[in-house]
Amino acid sequence: MMPHEQIPVLPALKGLGSLADIRPVVVIDSREQAPLRFERLDSVRGNLTSGDYSFVGGEHVFAVERKSIPDIVSCCCSQERERFERELHRLRGFRFARLLIVGERIQIEQGEYRSNASSKAVLNSLSAFEARYNVPVVYCPTPEEAAAQIESWAYWMARELVEAANDLLRAHKQMEKSA
């Protein structure tokens, strides 16, 4: 990933009509205690049913669950595991869902956390979660890179939705012309 200051600006979504000039707005779950700071997209606080981050209008299709290294270790190897798996189960219904870990995999591999949990147990749990819940695990070394990654995902997912809406509009207009 590029250093944060070199990340390009995200353009408008290129939709038809009133969608042409909008950009996604990131929704930060109201329960998120230390929210990421977004530089390229606006953000608002909101109540998300799943995940910590989404975007306005995409809350039903896009969700990112963010964890720090200590958080994910706790979620994999403690009494929190059952609650965390319920969250991952809910994410299965989203078109785009990710488990974003702020930190690096090597920190887990080398046991750089305060827990008696073995690194093997944590990494095996993460692999099992990916397979069981179809939610990819992505690592971003810093909060700034994590925020930039969420912005990028939100932008491209919103663009896909706008393109689908454009296709519907074009099809409708074609039907009107041929009628």
Q: What is the pLDDT of residue 1?
A: 46
- Please give the pLDDT value at position 2: 47
SS3 68: strand
Mean pLDDT by 10 residues, the chain (179 residues): 54 60 91 96 97 97 98 92 96 97 97 93 97 97 98 93 81 81
> Edge-to-edge, what's the strand order for the sheet holding 43-46?
43-46, 26-29, 53-55, 62-68, 96-102, 137-140
Q: What's 11-178's CATH class?
A: alpha beta
pTM above 0.75, yes or no: yes
Any idea of the CA torsion for 170, 153, 22, 44, to the nearest 10 degrees? 140
pLDDT of residue 19: 59
**pLDDT on residue 104:** 98
Domain locations in the chain? Answer: 11-178
Q: How far apart are CA 141 and CA 111, in angstroms?
A: 16
